[in-house]
A = this chain, B = another copy of it.
Amino acid sequence: MSKTGCDEGGGNISEESPEKSPSERIEPLVLVKLGEKVRPETKRWLIRLIGAPQKDGGAALLVHPGEDATGDIIMVSAPRCTLLQATEELGLCKTYNTGEMETFSYDDRDNFRYSDNMEMFLTLAERQYIIKYELEGLRARRDVRIPGLDDKYTLQHRDNIWQKLTAAGVVVDTFPLHSKAKLKELSKSWYAGNQLSQPLDSVNAYFGSAVGFYFSFLDFYTWSLIPPALLGLFITYFSSEVQKEAMEAVAGSQAEIHEEDSGLSVSGHMIQAVFSMLWSTVFIELWKRRSSSTSYRWGTLHLAERFSEPRPAFHGHLGMNPVTGRMEPLFPEWQRDLRMALVSIPVVGLFLGMVILGMLCFYWGENQVMWLHEEWDSVVSQTLLYAPSVLHIVYTNVLATVYKTVAQSLTEFENHREESAFQNHLTAKVLVFTFFNYFAVLFHIAFVKQDVPLLRKRLASLLIVTQLVNQVTEVVVPFLVDHFVSAPHRKESEDDPQEDKFRNQSKLPVFPGLFAEYIELLVQFGYLSLFSCVYPLTAVLLLINNVMEIRSDAYKICKLFRKPFSAPVANMGVWQIAFEILSFVAVVSNCWLLTLSPQLQRMRHEGQMSSADIMVIAVMAEHVLIIVKVIVAALIPDEPGWVQKKRAHMQYKSMQALRQQNLPSEES
């Protein structure tokens, strides 16, 4: 029943009213770039396929073939009917006429607000994603030869057409088009002025919920840094005051001041450590609440990805899906688990081992050249001093590049049914590796070398250097490139045909995804929560960095890249788990670092406490803090009460509907 009532199909935009340019009548949403050698008959076939009704195996979209039939672009838009059906299929929530958000139902469309005006009803990002969804979901109904192509590209029954066309070089690129007017409006309210808050709903509307969630998290995280930053400032100011006093009172009893200072410093560290451990829990829990209410507002609380078609690259034996009762490829769960256990995990472990190996070789090499230098002390040996660092950097970078490709193929091999599962597994793999890469050295210093001053020095320099490098690479360089290198090449005049402007967008680089942005935040959060007690100003530096980061990230995504497709998502996915795990590791790390604090070590040397006593205290503190964290996390519900009620109401309604559905004619 899901496909009834919409079978008139999409058709050709230009066919219907040839006298108007496409952009004046229906805004093209997605541009499909074809290969240069594509024959006109192939293009015609493709246009017909995209426009054909879904009952005939088409995508029921609106197509404009560009200025002429031989051009290498196709512009695609979507008619109301296709959009509404896809909205139901994706499980998006929309405003009902009561003002509440309800999962959209095609049969009940007239009771949803704005359901006659697609520009109001769906966001730009949603409409563009639906087009991608329909195009990539195209499957051959029977064996078909594609006109103008080799026989080896003949479509078999249920072949994914878009994948085949990409493999054959017919489709080179598919990307959503920027809307200049909306983009201008968005950038004005986002990063052009001095505003403190971001227009998150507009970001979601323009870029989709994945990007929206990133900026919402960045926003929340930045403002959450204020309490630890204030505490850090306070502690730094106070302990330097004490130090100054100590200097001034140098004539007085040395021992007394010494003791006072050490006492304060220990307690300062402890306050900092305990505070940051509890802060991180409250932060994560409150973010979950904000995330779920954001998800409600953006209509992604009840996504139905599990119940829709599997992602295009998913393969398996054709069979009946036991959940939906549809025929589709099936792949047994145990086989995926087996592949993960026997292939993915060992391979990831191997790469992590290679990171450690690299680090050990680096330390070994450094010792060797130091020794050599001491022995010979020549120019050659002085140059050699840099060799281990250089080699280690090269090794690390090569390893990271190789790993990314390997992670991609491993995740493909795991054959996930849903796009979100695929993304989460891929992210998790890269995340573990990257995180390990960043923190292996710091952990080594903290736990093996047990050298707190070095850790403090390293942390401070990392924080400052990373920030400078980031700001330069993220904002300054792209801005310069954009202004002086790229811009002249794609200068546009008002007189250019609209189509050329669209075509120009394909010259922008592809948006690299949010991975780098998220990992930056995670690494920051790691510095802050794992090692904050050795360097109290961490939060201050991060706060300054993030206020700028918001602007630079916004500028980047708006100006410097093609618009990305963005699937509707209900939360940050695996990133949220990563932040949560980190906040637990933080407790262990902080408690350990406190045992290494110089004051405690001195007490140990002076015989006031045995090292076993210190250990017992640290372990007890750790256990208490972890229990407190678990309890706090359990006590703060993950969803605000009103979202819980909406969810329960939804379940109640579906239960009622299920009870009534079987005998609709019996209703009295």
Contacts and interface: CB of A to CB of B under 8 A. Distances in A.
Contacts of A656: 661
Contacts of A106: 659
A538 interface: no
A307 B611 contact: no
A619 interface: yes
A516 interface: no
A664 interface: yes
Contacts of A667: 1, 664
A103 interface: yes
**Size range of the interface on A?**
35 or more
A549 interface: no
A663 B108 contact: yes
Interface stretch (A202-210, A552-560, A645-653): A645-653
A151 to B, nearest CB: 40
B323 A659 contact: no
Contacts of A645: 322-323
Nearest to A4: B668
Interface string A607-639: 000111011100100010000000000000000
A6 to B, nearest CB: 14
B662 A664 contact: no
A409 interface: no
A517 interface: no
Given A323-B648, A616-B615, A107 B662 contact: yes
Contacts of A614: 612
A490 interface: no
Nearest to A107: B663
A658 interface: yes
Contact of A654 (B111, B649, B654): B654
A15 interface: no
A324 to B, nearest CB: 6
A665 B107 CA distance: 11
Contact of A612 (B1, B615, B641): B615
Contacts of A1: 660, 667
Interface string A259-282: 000000000000000000000000
A79 to B, nearest CB: 21
Contact of A659 (B4, B107, B616, B651): B107
Contacts of A540: none
Given A658-B657, A660-B661, A652 B324 contact: yes
**Most chain B CB neighbours (cut-off 10 Å) among A304, A322, A658:** A658
A116 interface: no
A333 interface: yes
Interface in A308-359: 322-324, 333-334
A34 to B, nearest CB: 37
A663 B661 CA distance: 11
Given A623-B588, A652-B307, A108 B662 contact: yes
A666 interface: yes
A655 interface: yes
B661 A661 contact: yes
A111 B323 contact: no
A619 B615 contact: yes
B105 A659 contact: yes
A88 interface: yes
**Most chain B CB neighbours (cut-off 10 Å) among A1, A648, A651, A661:** A661
A258 interface: no
Given A103-B659, A107-B660, A323-B645, 11 more contacts: A107-B666, A307-B655, A322-B649, A323-B649, A610-B611, A612-B612, A615-B615, A654-B654, A654-B655, A654-B657, A657-B660
